Structure 1
Amino acid sequence: ATGEGKKAAIAQGVEEARGSWVILTDADARCGPGRVRGIMAAQAEHGWDLILGPVETRAGRGFLQSVQADEQAALLGVAAGTALQGHAVLANGANLAFRKAAFLEVGGYAGDGWAGGDDLFLLKRMRKAGLRIGYLLDKAVLVAVDAEPSIRGFGQQRLRWAGKMRGVSGPGAWLGAAGMALPWFILAVSCSVTLDGLMAYRPMAVVLLLSAAWLLWLLPVVSLAGAVRRFLHAAGSGVRMRLAGPSTAVSLVLFSVYAPVIAVLSLFVRPRWKGRRI
Structure 2
Amino acid sequence: MLTFYLLFVIVYGLLLLLLGKTWKQKPQIFPEYRESELVTILIPYRNEEQNIPALFGQLSGLSHRPLQVVFINDHSEDGGKKKLDEWIESLSEEQLDIISLESEGEGKKAALKTGIKKAFGSLVLTTDADCFLPKDWVEKMIRPFSDESIKMVAGPVLPKGDIGFFQNFQQIEWASILLVTQAGFYFQSPIMCSAANMAYRKSAFLEVEGYHGNEGLLSGDDEFLLKKMVHKFGPESVVYLQESLVYTQPQGSLKALFSQRIRWASKWNSHKSLSHALASVLPAAVQVAFLWSFSLLFMGNPGMLVFAAVWILKIYFETKSLGNVLRSFEIRPHWIWFLFTGIVHPVYVLVSALGALFVKFEWKGRYSSGKG
CA distance in 1, matches of 2:181, 2:305: 32
Instruction: Determine what percentage of the aligned residue pairs are the same residue.
Output: 32
Match of 1:127 in 2: 230
User: Residue in 2 aligned with 1:177?
Assistant: 281
Structure 1 residue matching 2:153: 3-state secondary structure? strand
Q: Are the structure 2 counterparts of residues 76 and 157 from structure 1 closer, same or farther at C-alpha, using a change threshold of 3 Å?
A: same
Shift of 1:150: 1.6
Give the C-alpha shift of residue 77 in structure 1: 1.8
Task: Tell me what 2:46 maps to.
Answer: none
| Aligned residue number for residue 253 of structure 2 | 150
Deviations 1:193-217 (A, max 9, x none): 7556x6xxxx5xx777666654564
Deviates more, 1:128-137 or 1:182-191: 182-191
- For 1:36-185, what aligned pairs fall within 5 Å after superposition? 36-45=138-147, 47-112=149-214, 113-131=216-234, 132-138=237-243, 141-166=244-269, 169-185=273-289
How far off is 1:147 after superposition?
0.9
Structure-1 residue corresponding to 2:41: none
Q: Residue 358 of structure 2: SS of its match in structure 1? A: coil
1:170-207 deviation digits (Å, cap 9, x = unpaired):
234314422322243255356257556x6xxxx5xx77
1:262 to 327, 347, 352: 352
Tell me the alpha carbon deviations over residues 142-174 of structure 1, each in whole angstroms, 9 at most, x when there is no partner: 211121122222222222222244455423431
> What are the Cα deviations for residues 56-102 of structure 1, in whole angstroms up to 9, with x where unaligned?
21125232112111111221122122213322122111101111122
CA contact (8 A) 1:52 1:136 kept: yes
Q: Any conservation in 1 of the 2:175–2:326 contact (CA below 8 Å)?
A: yes
- Report the TM-score when normalising by structure 1: 0.83
- Unaligned runs of 5+ residues in structure 2 are 1-102
In the alignment, which residue of structure 1 is the partner of 2:109?
7
Mapped to 2, the partners of 1:192 and 1:46 lie a distance apart of 56
1:172–1:117 CA distance, 2 compared to 1 (3 A): closer
Amino acid at match of 1:268: F
Where is the helix percentage greater, Structure 1 or Structure 2?
1
Q: Whole-Å Cα distance in 2 between the matches of residues 230 and 60 of structure 1?
A: 14
- SS of equivalent to 2:357: coil
Distance 1:167 1:248 in 2: 32
8 Å CA contact 2:268, 2:276 repeated in 1: no
Q: 1:68 to 1:42 in 2, by over 3 A?
A: same
For residues 357 and 290 of structure 2, what CA distance do their matches in structure 1 show? Answer: 26
Q: What is the alpha-carbon distance in structure 1 between the residues aligned to residue 310 and residue 179 of structure 2?
A: 22
SS in 2 for 1:68: helix
What RMSD in Å do the two structures reach over aligned CA positions? 2.5
Secondary structure at 2:266's aligned position in 1? helix
Structure 2: distance between partners of 1:40 and 1:255:
36
Residue segments in structure 1 that go unaligned for 5+ positions in a row: 234-238
Partners of 1:178 and 1:271 in 2: how far apart? 22
Partner of 1:236: none
Q: Distance in 2 between matches of 1:277 and 1:194?
A: 43
Cα distance, 1:54 vs structure 2: 1.0
Give the whole-Å Cα distance in 2 for the aligned partners of 1:87 and 1:30: 29
Task: Give how far 1:51 is off.
Answer: 0.8
Paired with 1:183 and 1:270, the residues of 2 have a C-alpha distance of: 23
Q: Is contact 2:156-2:197 (8 Å) kept?
A: yes
Helix, strand or coil at the partner of 1:22: strand
SS in 1 for 2:128: coil
Q: TM-score, normalised by structure 2?
A: 0.63
**What residue in structure 2 maps to residue 18 of structure 1?**
120
- CA distance in 1 between counterparts of 2:319 and 2:162 reads 21
What is aligned with 2:327? Answer: 230
